[in-house]
């Protein structure tokens, strides 16, 4: 597949795909005699992995480390597992942060719904780590 076909399939920009290759988030792709990237089925698997991990919030450097470990062979199973566990921990932290932010938003929406009905905006709860205030 050409870079254009890959980008259309995964809805990403060519610059993103080239960047992933440049930083090692996907292994180097074979090229035609004319220098055009020619993505194989294996390459597509790496592209899918990079997109999946990045969509989950895994830093591109960690994706590149994972790819490097995979390329080193079966002796890196434990290191790959540990890297994925680390990535998972980061994602769980992000999810918890999002849950807290959603809770704050729900609270504010509820307060504004009450204010629309009563004409008064009352804050009866505080969020200690809310740097944004109650406005």
pLDDT in tens, 120-134: 999 998 886 555 555
Rounded to an integer, the average pLDDT of 13-39 is 97
Q: Could you tell me the domains of the chain?
A: 3-71 (1.10.1660.10)
pLDDT value of position 126: 85
Report residue 118's pLDDT band, with 50, 70 and 90 as the boundaries. Answer: very high
pLDDT value of position 69: 98
The pTM score is 0.79
51 vs 99: CA distance, rounded Å:
24
Rounded to an integer, the average pLDDT of 53-61 is 94
How far is CA 8 from each of CA 52, 94, 131, rounded to the nearest angstrom?
16, 29, 41
- For residue 75, give the DSSP letter: G
DSSP letters for 2-56: -HHHHHHHHT--HHHHHHHHHHTSSPPPPB-TTS-B---HHHHHHHHHHHHHHHT
Tell me the Ramachandran region of residue 125: left when phi exceeds 0, alpha when psi lies from -120 to 50, beta otherwise: beta
Residue 20 tokens read as: 């992933």
86 vs 65: CA distance, rounded Å:
12
pLDDT at 80 over 60: yes
Q: Are 115 and 122 in contact (CB under 8 A)?
A: yes
Rounded to an integer, the average pLDDT of 52-65 is 96
pLDDT above 90 covers a percentage of the chain that reads 91
Report residue 86's pLDDT band, with 50, 70 and 90 as the boundaries. Answer: very high
């Amino acid at each position: 597949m050409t870079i254009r076909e890959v980008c259309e399939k995964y809805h990403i920009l060519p610059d993103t795909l080239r960047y992933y290759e440049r930083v090692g988030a996907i292994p180097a792709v074979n090229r035609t005699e004319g220098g055009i990237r020619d993505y194989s089925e294996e390459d597509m698997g790496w592209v899918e992995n990079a997109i999946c991990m990045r969509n989950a919030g895994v830093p591109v450097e960690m994706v590149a480390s994972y790819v490097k470990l995979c390329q080193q062979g079966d002796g890196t199973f434990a290191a790959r597992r540990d890297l994925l566990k680390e990535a998972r921990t980061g994602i769980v932290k992000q999810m918890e942060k999002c849950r807290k932010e959603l809770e704050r938003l729900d609270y504010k929406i509820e307060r504004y719904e009450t204010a629309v009905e009563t004409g008064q905006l009352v804050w009866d709860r505080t969020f200690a780590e809310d740097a944004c205030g109650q406005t």
